[in-house]
Amino acid sequence: MSWKSEQHGLELEFVDLADRMNRRMPLYIAERIETLLAQEGKAVNQSEIVLAGVAYKKRH
């Protein structure tokens, strides 16, 4: 959506912000997992970690 708005000379700051947040999320999650494991005295490389995600997109 952002690239399409730029073609028409419009700026969608909210869309750009959401994109930046989404791109940073994998690093944030990895760091958060590492921090939580460290608080329990565990190392990432000696832990079993399961990541599960859910996505939802409303039909129009």
Q: What pLDDT, in 10s, does the model give residues 10-45?
A: 667 888 888 899 999 999 999 999 999 999 999 999
How far does CA 14 lie from the centroid of its chain?
A: 16
In this predicted structure, what is the pLDDT of residue 18? 85
CA distance 49 to 37: 10
Q: Which of 4-8, 22-26, 51-55 has the lowest mean pLDDT?
A: 4-8
Mean pLDDT for the chain?
A: 86
What is the pLDDT, as a whole number, of residue 32?
A: 95
The predicted model scores a pTM of: 0.64
Widest CA span in the chain: 53
